[in-house]
Chains A and B, each alone.
Chain A
Amino acid sequence: MALLEVTNLKTHFTTRDGVVRAVDGVSFSVEEGHTLAIVGESGSGKSVTALSLMRLIPDPPGKIIEGSIILRGDDVRKMDDSTVRAMRGDRIAMIFQDPMTSLNPVFRVGFQIGEALRIHKGMTRKEAAARAVEMLELVGIPNPADRARDYPHQFSGGMRQRAMIAMALACDPDILIADEPTTALDVTIQAQILELMIELQQRKGTAIIMITHDLGVVADMADDVMVMYAGKQVEYGSAHDVFYQPRHPYTWGLLDSLPRHDIDEKGTLLPIEGQPPSLIDVPSGCAFHPRCPYAQDRCVKESPELRDITSGHMAACHFAGEDGFVRGEAVPVTGGVE
C-alpha cells in the first residue's frame, strides 16, 4: 500500500465567468521515501492538486468535488477540521514558490519554525526554539543560533527557502510538498536548494511531491513523473520512462524546450507553440489539440483516456503506443486533417 493514494481528484472553482476545472480527474500515488514530480505549464492545475492534498483550497470559490486522497489509510477529504489541522505541518508539510513572501515579516525566523513544533509536538516555547536552531543548522544556515533571532527580511532569498524547508521538515512529515521551490531563486541557488532537498530526503526518508514547470529541475531527483495539461494527467510513469520513452506530444514539447546535452546534440530549444487553454472553456476532444503538431480530426472530437502504454507507463493520447509515434520520429500533420 502506498503512502499516499489519490484517486480521480477533481477540484473546481466557481467564478464570475464560469466553472474553472482546475483539477479534473487526477489519480496518482506516492511511495514512502519516493519523489513524485508533477510537471506542467502554469494553469495546468499542478499547484491546485498540491493544495487540494492539504485541503488548502480557498472555499469559496474552490471546492474538491470528487475523488479520494488516502494518506496511510486516512481519507483526507473526510477529515474534520481539527484532524486536517493536525495533519497539516505534521504529516504533510509544504513549501511555496516565493520565499520572499511566504515567511511572516513581523515574526522571528526561529519562532516561525518552532510554531509547528509547539502545536504538533506539544513542545514548550524553549524546546521549540532550541529545535528551530537545530533545524536551521540542518538546512545549512551558518550561525543558526543567531540567525534564529533574525527577521525574514534579514535573510537572502536562498536562505529564506532554506528556512522554509527547515520549517516544513521540523515535525518530520511523511510527505513534503514543494511547489516550485526554486523558481523564484537565482540559478546557482536553485541547484543548492535541490541538493539540500535530496540530501535531507536521504537522511530523513521523507517522500517529496515536487511541483514544477521545469522538467530539468526534477531530472535528478524524481522517481515518478506526472505531466499535467489543462487539469488532467497526460502522461504518468517512472522518471526513466517519461524521460527516455515519452509517449505524449506535450511531454515531447516540454523536453524539447529544455537545454539538453545528453540526448540530442542539436542544441536547439523548441518552445511549445501557443498558450495553455482557458480552464473554463477547455478545447473539445484532446485539450492539447490546438497546439499539437500531430493533431487529427479525432483529436478534436474525442477526448483520449489515460491508458497503459507499457506496464505502469500511462499516456492520454490517441496515438501513443502506435508504431513510429515516438519522439523525434513522428511526422507533424501539416493540414491538421488527414
Chain B
Amino acid sequence: MVKYLVRRVLQMVPVFLGVTLILFVLRIPGFLPGDPIKLIVGERPLSAELRAQVEKENRLNEPIHEQYVWYVTQALQGDFGNSYQKNRPVAEILGDKFPNTFRLAFAAILVEIVVGILAGIISAVKQYSFWDVLVTLSTSVLVSVPVFWLGLLLQMFFGIKLKQWTGGAMFLPITGMGDPPDLVHLILPAITLASVSTAYVARIMRSQMLEAMGQDYIRTAVAKGLTERAVVFRHAMKNALIPVVTYIGIDLGALMGGAILTESVFSWPGVGRELYLAVLQRDWPVVMGGVLVVVLIVMVVNLLVDISYAVLDPRIRYGGAAE
C-alpha cells in the first residue's frame, strides 16, 4: 500500500510539471493575443523607462526558461504572482473564490448521493417496473440536457413563474446574495451542477446492483435465510457501492475545480467563473495560478479516491496493490 502510494505520488509529478509547462507557454509574448505590458498597465502610452520597470517587475525581460523555473518555484510556495487586471496577488483572489466553489461542489455531491443512489437502488430492485422505466428515461434525458440551459429553466421557473411563492430574487442569485452567498441561493445552482452526475450515479448504481444481485454469493445469502432487505441492502449494496463511491469521489474532485457554466449562469462567485472571466480579460497570471491549483486539487482528490477504494474493497487492501 505504501509502495503504491509513493508510486502514485511520483506519477503525479510529471503530470503536474506538464501542466505548468503548457500553462507557461501561454505567457510567451506573441504566442497569446495581447501584449502583456498593455494587459498590465492598460492602453495608455508608456515611457520607455516605465515599460522597462514593468517588464522588470514581472520578469518579462528574462530568458523564458529562467522565467519558468522562477514561476514554478514561486508557485510551489503559494505565490502565483499578481493579477494583471486587479492589481492583487492571484493567491488572494483564488482564496476568495475557492470557498464558494467548495460550497457549491459539496451541495451538488449531496444531491448526487441522495438522489442518484436512491434512484439507482429503486430502479434495480424494481427492475422493469414503472419506476425503473422512469429512472432509465429521465437519466437519459438528464445527461442530454445542457447544464446552462437547465440553470436558465430553473431560474425562469422558480425565479419568475413562481415569484410570489419563492420571493423571486431569493432563488435568483443574480441580485444581492452576499459573499459568501446565503444557503438558499445554493439550491438551484447545486441541482443544476449535480444534474448530469446524478444521472450517471443512478445508472451506475442500477447496473452495479443488478450485477451484484446476479452473483453466487447472493444465492448463498438467500439460502442462509436472510430477508430480502438484508440481501439487497447488505450483501448486494456493499458490493455495488464500491464503483459508485469511486465515481462520486472523482466527480467531487472535478466539481471542486470550479464549474464554469453553472457559476456563470447563476453568477456564482466561484473559481470557475473567475477563471472564465480571467481568460476573457487575458489575465494570464490568474488563469495560470487558478488552473494549477485546480489541477492539484483534482489530482489529490483522485489519489484519495484510490485510497478509499482500497479501504472499501478488501481484495485491494491486502492483495494487488499494484493495481
Contacts and interface: CB of A to CB of B under 8 A. Distances in A.
A93 B217 contact: no
Given A90-B225, A93-B223, A105-B315, 18 more contacts: A54-B223, A56-B222, A87-B225, A88-B222, A88-B224, A89-B223, A89-B224, A96-B220, A103-B217, A104-B238, A105-B313, A105-B314, A106-B312, A106-B313, A115-B221, A151-B318, A153-B318, A167-B220
A245 interface: no
Interface string B222-238: 11111100000001001
A284 interface: no
Interface in A160-179: 164, 167
A307 interface: no
Given A96-B219, A101-B215, A105-B217, A86 B225 contact: yes
Contacts of B222: 56, 88
Given A151-B314, A151-B315, A115 B226 contact: yes
B225 A105 contact: no
B239 interface: yes
A107 interface: yes
A83 to B, nearest CB: 11
Contact of B223 (A56, A104, A120): A56
A268 interface: no
B216 A116 contact: no
B319 interface: yes
Interface string A92-128: 0110101001111111000000011001100000000
* A-side interface size class: 20 to 34
B238 A85 contact: no
Interface in A50-102: 54, 56, 85-90, 93-94, 96, 98, 101-102
Contacts of B313: 105-106
Interface string B117-142: 00000000000000000000000000
A101 B224 contact: no
A151 B225 CA distance: 21
A42 interface: no
Interface hub of B224, B239, B315, B318 (most chain A Cβ within 10 A): B224
Contacts of A96: 216, 219-220
Q: How large is the interface on B (under 10, 10 to 19, 20 to 34, 35 or more residues)?
A: 20 to 34
A312 B318 CA distance: 55
A94 B318 CA distance: 29
A239 to B, nearest CB: 26
B223 A153 contact: no
Contacts of B219: 56, 96, 102
A106 B216 contact: no
Contact of B216 (A86, A90, A93, A102): A102
A119 B224 contact: yes
Contacts of A93: 223-224
Contacts of A90: 225
Nearest to A58: B219
A154 interface: yes
A85 B242 CA distance: 28
Contact of A104 (B217, B225, B242, B318): B217
A106 B227 CA distance: 19
A154 B217 CA distance: 16
A265 B167 CA distance: 96
